Amino acid sequence: MTRWITEPRRIALLATILVVAVIAGLLVTARLSSSSYAASAAPYRPNPRAVATPEQARESVPRPPMRAEPPSRQRAWNGPDGTQRTTGTPSMSLTFDDGPSQFTDEVLDMLDKHDIKATFCVIGSQVRSHAAQMRRIVADGHTLCNHTWSHDLRLADRTPDQIVKDLVRTNDAIHTVVPQAKVRYFRNPGGNFNHRTVSVAQNLGMVPLHWSIDSRDWESRDSKKICDLVEGNAHPGAVVLLHDGGGDRRETMKALKKLLPFLKERYELIAMP
Ligand SMILES: [Zn+2]
């Protein structure tokens, strides 16, 4: 008689333990997979200069709203902090930073000779004294990119308000000499983007533009090294960082003479759309 009573109870107890164990197992698995996803979704190592000190962290500047982009667009961007670092097409794009300068005309001549369109990331304070070069960049069909007023390498440390002022001042300077030109892109000096500079640029209607190939012409005094680096890393969709300003660019000019025909033969080269 006791056997008949205890047996169903024992079965019920075992069933309860089994159900609890299965639920616990599911919870542990879900937790593990979500933490490994979080790790793989954050490959970007922040620039040490952009990391906040404990004091800055305590102040905790509110994060400005990010503009939502459709998923297909996000896939093409794939740069740190929501920046775009590839063209999103099989074509490559050359970008020239830190101008306009005394080297810009030479770059424009070479691009014209090879019928190549490119992107110029210009510094606001240099625009007025190089108005002719600015007009030529636009007339030749190249794309403009805002590279801040005075190449502030610590822009990411500024307040959102200061960042807005810097970028708007630069766009205003550009529009003084080329009123109809669109400034579709923004590039943080040194590539030191963070969420503040990215969202301010986006809120002003500009796409934050990173790069996928650094020619390192900013440190190289050897045109062959610049050529080898770009030629060796060239790939469909690449955005190449070069400079037409910011110092003595004679080695960049020398490198471009070989680089442009080399790339033109192998890739379609476009201005960022
Ligand atoms: Zn720069």
Distance 244 CA to ligand 1 centre (A): 10
* Dihedral, CA of residue 176, residue 178, residue 184 and residue 190, to nearest 10: -70
Distance 150 CA to ligand 1 centre (A): 10
Has residue 13 been placed in a domain? yes
Distance 249 CA to ligand 1 centre (A): 13
Has residue 43 been placed in a domain? no
pTM of the full structure? 0.73
Confidence of residue 221 (pLDDT cuts 50, 70, 90): confident
Distance 123 CA to ligand 1 centre (A): 8
Do residues 141 and 254 both lie within one domain? yes
Which residues crowd ion ligand 1, with CB under 5 Å? Answer: 97-98, 189
- What is the rounded average pLDDT for all residues in the chain? 82
pLDDT at 96: 98
Q: Is 209 helix (H, G, I), strand (E, B) or coil?
A: strand
Q: Are strands 119-122 and 183-186 parallel, antiparallel or unpaired?
A: unpaired
| Cβ neighbourhood burial of 167 (10 Å; 0-12, 13-18, 19+) | buried
% of the chain beyond a pLDDT of 90: 69
Has residue 195 been placed in a domain? yes
Higher pLDDT, residue 35 or 236: 236
**CATH number of the domain within which 193 lies:** 3.20.20.370
Do residues 115 and 196 both lie within one domain? yes
Do residues 167 and 241 both lie within one domain? yes
Does residue 209 carry a pLDDT above 80? yes
Do residues 27 and 87 both lie within one domain? no
The number of distinct structural domains making up the chain is 2
Has residue 240 been placed in a domain? yes
Distance 143 CA to ligand 1 centre (A): 16
Has residue 18 been placed in a domain? yes
Q: Catalytic pick from 81, 97, 152, 217?
A: 97
Do residues 25 and 119 both lie within one domain? no
Does residue 236 carry a pLDDT above 70? yes
Distance 221 CA to ligand 1 centre (A): 17
Has residue 256 been placed in a domain? yes
Do residues 17 and 101 both lie within one domain? no
Distance 5 CA to ligand 1 centre (A): 82
| Cβ neighbourhood burial of 190 (10 Å; 0-12, 13-18, 19+) | middle
Helix spans in 41-70 (H): 54-59
Summarised one tens digit per residue, pLDDT across range 73-107 is 443 567 778 899 999 999 999 999 999 999 999 99
Q: Are strands 213-214 and 239-243 parallel, antiparallel or unpaired?
A: parallel
Q: Is 130 a catalytic residue?
A: no
Structural domain span for residue 240:
76-266
* Residue 149: partners with Cβ closer than 8 Å, 6 or more residues away: 123, 124, 125, 166, 169, 170, 173
Confidence of residue 163 (pLDDT cuts 50, 70, 90): very high
From residue 254, give the alpha-carbon distance in Å to each of 107, 118, 122, 249, 268: 10, 18, 21, 9, 21
Do residues 163 and 222 both lie within one domain? yes
DSSP string, 218-266: TT---HHHHHHHHHHH--TTBEEEEESSSS--HHHHHHHHHHHHHHHHH
- Strand partners for 122: 99, 146
Do residues 28 and 100 both lie within one domain? no
From CA 177, how far away is CA 167, in angstroms rounded?
A: 16
From CA 164, how far away is CA 16, in angstroms rounded?
A: 60
Confidence of residue 23 (pLDDT cuts 50, 70, 90): low
Any idea what the Cα angle at residue 221 is, between residues 218 and 222, rounded to 5°?
Answer: 115
| Cβ neighbourhood burial of 165 (10 Å; 0-12, 13-18, 19+) | middle
Has residue 70 been placed in a domain? no
Distance 152 CA to ligand 1 centre (A): 9
Distance 147 CA to ligand 1 centre (A): 7
Do residues 26 and 106 both lie within one domain? no
Q: Is 243 a catalytic residue?
A: yes
Place of tokens 């060239």: 234
Has residue 57 been placed in a domain? no
Give Cα 162 distance to the centre of its chain.
20
pLDDT at 79: 77
Do residues 84 and 24 both lie within one domain? no
Q: Catalytic pick from 142, 147, 210, 243?
A: 243
pLDDT at 270: 97
185 with 209: CB under 8 angstroms? Answer: yes
Confidence of residue 244 (pLDDT cuts 50, 70, 90): very high
Do residues 113 and 25 both lie within one domain? no
Do residues 27 and 83 both lie within one domain? no
